[in-house]
């Protein structure tokens, strides 16, 4: 079964991921049921009784431990991280606290909760929801006025907003498949910031594979440390910002990476010599 859709702001991307996975699994000879995340989900799962669920849900409800908990209760195996790893990785504030406790560099930050006024003096700064993916709601602000406006707007989407220092440098990402770090991808958005539009609009971003051996190893080693720290499994993607001196900072962790035609996880797998179908076989194994 492929579980997709849901009711998060990433629904459309989830549907694209789910359909791509479903098509490939059918081509591989699997009997595939496509299921949307609705209030009837538990009844549908009990009716179909799948051998395994491929979770293609992005964002709240699918990537934050809630659907994982339901599947655990029903005794149905599924792909990806479990309840704890999913919940922790989805909450950017908790992830950052854990990273900092283990000495893994991440940009300085402050968490602003609903009802609080943002206090921040170091501009430019990045503002984003603490519990969303796909760079939904992400913006870069340059003043206290812009910060206040951005935070207010995000409170329509979330109860917790993350403000962090803007690290001048390069965007990198490391995909992890079954505990193995894949080739590092450098992300070069045309407009300079890797936001939702840059991620999902063809031609808005250039992707290249990093050829700097020492930096690649450092990023891969750090990504594996993060993966182990959060207790993840099957697949994950760790996003970095690398400053001008080559120092990497962990930005966030994705436990259900996208599988669309523009997605980075299958791109890294292909570079490592795996087809899309081979990648799925490994994830399901």
Of 131, 200, 227, 234, the catalytic one is 200
Bridging pattern class, strands 185-189 and 180-181: unpaired
Local structure of 20: helix, strand or coil:
helix
Given CA atoms 151, 15, 59, 208 in this order, what sign does their dihedral have? negative
| Residue 44 annotated among the catalytic residues of the structure | no
Of 6, 8, 9, 10, the catalytic one is 10
Of 8, 164, 258, 263, the catalytic one is 258
- Tell me the C-alpha distance between 11 and 44, whole Å: 19
| Residue 10 annotated among the catalytic residues of the structure | yes
| Residue 86 annotated among the catalytic residues of the structure | no
- Rg of the chain taking only CA atoms, in angstroms: 18
| Residue 72 annotated among the catalytic residues of the structure | no
Of 18, 131, 252, 263, the catalytic one is 252
C-beta separation of 112 from 125 below 8 A: no
Going by C-alpha positions, the residue among 130, 134, 131 that lies closest to residue 12 is 134
Output the CA–CA distances (angstroms, integers) from residue 183 to 216, 224, 248, in the order listed: 8, 13, 16
| Residue 40 annotated among the catalytic residues of the structure | no
| Residue 237 annotated among the catalytic residues of the structure | yes
| Residue 252 annotated among the catalytic residues of the structure | yes
Of 5, 9, 216, 237, the catalytic one is 237
Q: Catalytic residue numbers? A: 10, 134, 200, 237, 239, 252, 254, 258
């Amino acid at each position: 079964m492929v579980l997709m859709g849901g009711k998060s702001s990433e629904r459309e991307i989830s549907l694209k991921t789910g359909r791509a996975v479903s098509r490939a699994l059918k081509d591989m000879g699997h009997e595939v049921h496509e299921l949307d995340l609705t209030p009837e989900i538990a009844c549908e799962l009990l009716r179909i009784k799948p051998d395994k669920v491929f979770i293609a849900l992005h964002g709240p409800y699918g990537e934050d431990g809630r659907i994982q908990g339901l599947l655990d209760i029903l005794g149905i195996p599924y792909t990806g991280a479990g309840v704890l790893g999913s919940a922790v990785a989805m909450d950017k504030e908790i992830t950052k606290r854990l990273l900092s406790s283990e000495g893994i560099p991440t940009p300085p930050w402050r968490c602003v909760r609903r009802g609080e006024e943002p206090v921040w003096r170091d501009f430019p700064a990045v503002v984003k929801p603490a519990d969303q993916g796909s760079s939904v709601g992400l913006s870069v602000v340059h003043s206290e006025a812009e910060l206040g406006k951005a935070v207010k707007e995000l409170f329509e989407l979330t109860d917790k907003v993350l403000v962090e220092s803007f690290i001048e440098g390069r965007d990198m990402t490391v995909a992890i498949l079954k505990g193995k770090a894949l080739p590092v991808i450098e992300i070069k958005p045309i407009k300079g910031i890797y936001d939702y539009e840059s991620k999902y609009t063809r031609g808005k971003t250039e992707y290249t594979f990093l050829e700097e051996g020492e930096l690649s190893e450092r990023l891969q080693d750090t990504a594996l440390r993060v993966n182990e720290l959060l207790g993840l499994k099957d697949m994950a993607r760790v996003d970095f910002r690398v400053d001008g001196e080559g120092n990497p900072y962990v930005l966030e962790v994705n436990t259900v990476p996208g599988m669309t035609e523009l997605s980075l996880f299958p791109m890294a797998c292909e570079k490592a010599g795996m087809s899309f179908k081979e990648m799925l076989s490994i994830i399901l194994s």
